[in-house]
Amino acid sequence: MSGKKLSCDVVVIGGGATGVGVLRDAVMRGLSAILVERVDLGQGTTGRYHGLLHSGGRYVVSDPESATECAEENAILTRIHPDAVEATGGLFVAVAGDDESYPDRFLAGAQATGVPTAEITVAEALRREPRLNPQIFRAFEVHDGTVDGWRMVWGAADSARQYGAQVLTYHRVTGIEVRDGAVAAVICHGDKTGEDVTIDCRAVVNAAGPWAGKIAELAGEHDVEVVPGRGIMIAMNHRLVNRVVNRCVYPADGDILVPVHTVSIIGTTDARAADPDRLAIEPAEVQQMLDAGEQLIPGFRQARALHAWAGARPLLKDRRVSADDTRHMSRNMSVITHDVRGLVTVAGGKLTTYRLMAARTMDAVCEVLGENRTCRTADEAVATGSTYKVTHRLGEVEKAKKASHGLPDPDPVICECELVTKSMITELLAEQPTATFDDLRRQLRIGMGPCQGGFCASRTAGIAHESGCWSAAQSTELLRLFLKNRWNGIYPILSGAQAREASLDEWIYQGTYAMDSLPVTDLPAGAELVSATPYPSPGPNPAAVTDAGGVAPADAGGVAPAAGAGQSAAVASSTAAGSPGGTGALGGVPVDPSGEGK
């Protein structure tokens, strides 16, 4: 076969947390490994996460084995991923009307599974989290935390590269060669490069999550039955709590509120998805989540819902329950060694147990290869990158302002919500000249706070053009795609204050920049791949005009994100330094429903 040729011991298919974990584990055991991912790292299930680092408490009654695994891995991940984990702590609270017998079952389950738990008084719980429903009648303290899934994946990938691993993003697997009953090679196509790549190997790890069944079929294996469990989440515009707050009930919909960076995330639902590439968000589910939040935090609905998204859990078919009952399917991980020698599939589990899943997978691979190599991933911390908390950024901004002695700020704040400065953007673009708008969003959190990109998106496009990384045409077109993807996430929750924010953005991008009338230009190679999941154009949203003061767009195409855009040096240059033509304090364009933007 013509094209590029590579070789290694192990090919890992799938660039989520589990796949990257397997890659790191493999090379730390001394095996050579290459990872292949169809888009960017962490853009599948990992990127559509709730943000929760489980203590294990959620599963002490429903899934004791998973509870124990979560408790053990929580401590390990907190230690080896210091830049990705915030040890917030958590509470389980029982609210008036909940099953009064469950808290005792919860406490007994925690003791049996080894999940650290301590009961505290209701008064103490309310002191720690004053916004909690005062009608709670039991409260328990656990070791929940929050995790930045992308930062965790990038850190593990960088660690793997330091051990010699290769990572091929934007490469689609098109075939798996089998010779004499064993895997021999993986064939993939570079969607950015246009090049076919053949990777000779001794083993293949199928870590494709909800798509694992399709990958296994490429090798002639049809025994991987993955049931995608669809869950929706909603980000609110404030950090309403500083600890993870769980409802002390048998796992149900909308029973966890997670503080992630500057926002809070309520979730989640659980229903079977027919296609993990098409995850619809139903209006009734949105209302269900908001109602559940109100029961935990009175006044929850007064906060602004920023955006909604959906993710697909890769659950293996559980014959103990009906095919559609994903809520009660086990969260246990499964490692499958196939008849095709050298092919190993890993599925199930959760983000909290990604390292353990990788370790067990590589144990199976080593057994197949006849290698005696032990796992070391729990012993070595992942090297931290240039990560900041918002409070740290605020200190730097204040220091810079004092040093300027009233002169124009040489490093202005571009995203007020996340305190992202101009130099942070230019430095990242210098390191990654081919970065897309969504790459900047994931790595710097541009547009991921309450403003949701309404003002900082245009500024960032201007900076990218000014730095020479993007042409004026590319800047405007990437901005258009960025906003369009975000519109997909705001549409399901477009009402009230958020509808007014969307109308403001429409005036900025249509009224000021006239993006609707600009010609459309071709995107850079691969840039159209920033949204891994295609979504149909939504129909009219009746909720859009409810309590919106008559300012909501008439339909899905009414806001600038759905409009065409093209080459406009005016858009790029006038906003590069945050100048008046399209700048300000806060806006409101949300992220796509693929979930990449807490």
Q: Which strand ranges, in their side-by-side order, compose the sheet holding 343-348?
A: 166-168, 33-36, 10-13, 203-206, 343-348, 333-337
The CATH homologous superfamily for domain 86-143+228-313 is D-Amino Acid Oxidase, subunit A, domain 2 (3.30.9.10)
- DSSP SS3 for 515: helix
Phi, psi (degrees; rounded to nearest 5) at 166: -115, 145
pLDDT tens string, the chain, 598 residues long: the values are 568 999 999 999 999 999 999 999 999 999 999 999 999 899 888 888 889 999 999 999 999 999 999 999 999 999 999 989 999 999 999 999 999 999 999 999 999 999 999 999 999 999 999 999 999 999 999 999 999 999 999 999 999 999 999 999 999 999 999 999 999 999 999 998 899 999 999 999 999 999 999 999 999 998 888 888 888 999 999 899 999 999 999 988 889 999 998 899 998 888 887 888 888 888 899 999 999 999 999 999 999 999 899 988 877 765 544 455 455 455 578 899 999 999 999 998 889 999 999 999 999 999 999 999 999 999 999 976 545 555 555 566 566 656 655 666 778 899 888 889 999 999 999 988 888 888 888 888 888 877 778 888 999 999 999 988 888 888 888 888 888 888 888 888 888 888 888 888 888 888 888 887 777 776 655 555 443 332 233 333 333 322 322 222 222 222 222 223 333 333 333 333 333 233 222 223 233 334 444 4
For the chain, residues classed under CATH 3.30.9.10 are 86-143+228-313
Residues of the chain with CATH 3.50.50.60: 4-45+150-225+331-369
User: Whats the size of the chain, residue-wise?
Assistant: 598
The domain made up of 4-45+150-225+331-369 has a fold known as FAD/NAD(P)-binding domain (3.50.50)
Q: Looking up tokens 């408490």, which residue turns up?
A: 57
Q: Is residue 241 within 8 Å of 257, Cβ to Cβ?
A: yes
Look at residue 597 in the predicted model and tell me its pLDDT.
42
In the numeric block, the tokens 């229903």 are attached to 271
Decide: 142 and 35 in contact? Cβ < 8 Å.
no
pLDDT at position 301 is 93
Contact 276, 88 (CB under 8 A): no
pTM of the model: 0.83
The pLDDT, as a whole number, for residue 163 is 97
**Residue 404 has what pLDDT?**
58
Query: Could you say which DSSP state residue 44 is in?
Result: S
Res 563: pLDDT: 29
**HEC string for 538-593:** CCCCHHHHCCCCCCCCCCCCCCHHHCCCCCCHHHHHHCCCCCCCCCCCCCCCCCCC
Find how far residue 1's CA is from the centre of its chain: 36
pLDDT of residue 254: 87
CB 316 within 8 A of CB 346: no
Per-residue pLDDT, 558: 28
The amino acid that residue 558 corresponds to is G
Backbone angles phi, psi at 511, to 5 degrees: -70, -45
C-alpha span between 128 and 139 (Å, rounded) = 11
Cβ–Cβ under 8 Å, residues 369 and 203:
yes
Q: How far apart are CA 48 and CA 594, in angstroms?
A: 6
Q: Position 55: which residue type?
A: S
Please state, in angstroms and rounded to a whole number, the distance separating the CA atoms of residues 166 and 41: 13
- Write the CB contacts of 43 (distance below 8 Å, at least 6 apart in sequence): 15, 37, 532, 594, 596
Contact yes or no for 102/248 (Cβ under 8 A): yes
d(CA 491, CA 308): 8
